Amino acid sequence: MNYVNVIGAGLAGCEAAYQLSKRGVHVRLYESKPLKKSPAHHSDQLCELVCSNSFKANRTNSAAGLLKEEMRTLGSLLLQCADQCAVPAGGALAVDREKFSAMVTDAIKNDPNIEIIPEEITSIPDDAITIIATGPLTHDALSSAIADRFGESLRFFDAAAPIVAADSIDMEHAFFESRYGKGGGEDYLNCPMNKAEYEAFYEALVTAERAPVHEFDVMNPKVYEGCMPIEVMAQRGEDTIRFGPMKPVGLRDPRTGHRPWAVLQLRKENAAATMYNLVGFQTNLKFGEQKRVFSMIPALHDAEFLRYGVMHRNTFINSPRLLSSEYSLKENKNLFFAGQITGVEGYMESASSGLLCGINAARLFCGQATVTLPDTTMMGALSRYISDPTVTNFQPMGANFGVLPELENRPRDKAERGTAYAERALGDLVAFIDEQQINI
């Protein structure tokens, strides 16, 4: 075939289509709007921002800023538009959402290599190389087709727990042990609390401010029961979570020799053990409240939250089992997935996956080898994370320094550390572009 299919004209789809086009590949870009919109979408424009207008930090020595700088280096359309539509937002890159969508729409519509087809795709095409970039609110028919194709690989998670940086946990107030000594000795990192600490934490938890939940995010009440937010569970009674996610049975605090009053368990989020998940702490608290309340747990008093807990409809595949680090299926190199359906979390994370999909689909189309970016880059580390078969309990992940390999000489200062990560990433990226002869 003399074209590549891109399904979905959100951030990932538009970026992928642009990257294909500028490499001389004809694109058939399928978009269900304006014929059919999800409950979250209102505009007929492409690349609509349905939530915040912020793309997070713009400083290169921040994880989010580094991701954007890598995308700029690789010639991202969305970053070109975002920089031109920026509005004052302190150290963040925020945009006028209407101007941003209009500018991206104009660029895509006026691209001679991109054919926009207003049509809802209800099955997975097999007529050409295809990128599926339909987002977390993929329409039911295509969702069903994906689920049918991959069995239980299509997941709907309505709540997720926070993730903290391993090196920010106070180990003076934590210990490794599995309940009753079962499993590996370092399977769980335990954060004990005494009675007074727990009671103060409990009161803060049940009175903390929650984020609003959109009506269309509520898909099935039974799902919420299965992954109930910790603050909702706590409202059933002061001891409910102490006999649930925070039960101390089978554990002994080595500092006291006794069983704690309550325990939060942390579980490794990646093989390198640089990130830990708060087990059973799915939450819908506002991000600032999560930081305030969960930092009352002694071991987390100075914790760095790499990802806050969220509650919303989120459709994504089991990427560690299905995808390669090039965002193509392990079993079928002609089928790519991009955007939040892969388990990357965030506007620019979605766009960055579309960018890499576009580059790789174009290389595949032209008979060249596809590429995975260096793991020292944020884009490369994210693509490796979502395709890492050692990752269990897979949930969406945004840009953070915890996914990068550790620095050889790690600065103690956080800002200096961020600068070192960024300098290494951008240097490696430029060298990789030259080595692989990636057309920018």
Distance CA 234, CA 283 (A): 11
Of 40, 264, 252, the closest CA to residue 135 belongs to 40
- In tens, the pLDDT along 389-404 reads 988 778 788 999 999 9
Q: Higher model confidence: residue 298 or residue 186? A: 298
Q: What does pTM read for this prediction?
A: 0.74
| Cis ω for the linkage preceding 34 (within 30 of 0) | yes
Mean pLDDT score of the chain? 89
The third-level CATH classification (topology) of the domain covering 163-307 is Elongation Factor Tu (Ef-tu); domain 3 (2.40.30)
| Mean pLDDT value across residues 342-357 | 95
Which pLDDT value is given to residue 186? 76
Decide if pLDDT at 217 tops 60.
no
Question: pLDDT tier at 159 (50, 70, 90 boundaries)?
Answer: low
Assess contact for 117 and 28: CB atoms under 8 A.
Answer: yes
The third-level CATH classification (topology) of the domain covering 4-157+314-436 is FAD/NAD(P)-binding domain (3.50.50)
What residue spans define the domains of the chain?
A: 4-157+314-436, 163-307
Output the CA angle 169-175-180, nearest 5 degrees. Answer: 140
Of 176, 120, 167, 158, the closest CA to residue 7 belongs to 120
Which pLDDT value is given to residue 53? 75
